[in-house]
Amino acid sequence: MDLSESTVRDRARTYAEREPLYDVERQHVETVPETFAGDEYGRRDAQWIVRWYFRRYLGEYPDRERREREEAFRDNDFGDVIDAIDAAVDALGVGENEGADAAERGDAAEADAALDALTALDGVDVAVASGFCQFLAPERFVAVDRRTWAVLAAAGELDASYPEPPSAADYRRFDDACRAVMERTGVDAWTLYRALWVSYEQLPDADA
d(CA 185, CA 180): 9
Question: Is residue 113 situated within a structural domain?
Answer: yes
The total number of structural domains in the chain stands at: 1
Q: Is residue 86 part of a domain?
A: yes
Residue 25 lies in a domain: yes
Pick the closest to residue 177 from 194, 159, 204 (CA basis): 159
Q: Note whether residue 208 is domain-resident.
A: no
Instruction: Note whether residue 77 is domain-resident.
Output: yes
In a domain, 192, yes or no: yes
Check whether the bond before 165 is cis (ω within 30° of 0): yes
Tens of each residue's pLDDT in the chain, 208 residues: 899 999 999 999 999 999 999 999 999 999 999 999 997 899 999 999 999 999 999 988 888 888 999 999 999 999 999 999 999 999 999 976 554 444 455 567 789 999 999 999 999 999 999 999 999 999 999 999 999 999 999 999 999 999 989 999 999 999 999 999 999 999 999 999 999 999 999 898 776 4
Query: Which domain covers residue 169, as residue numbers?
Result: 5-202
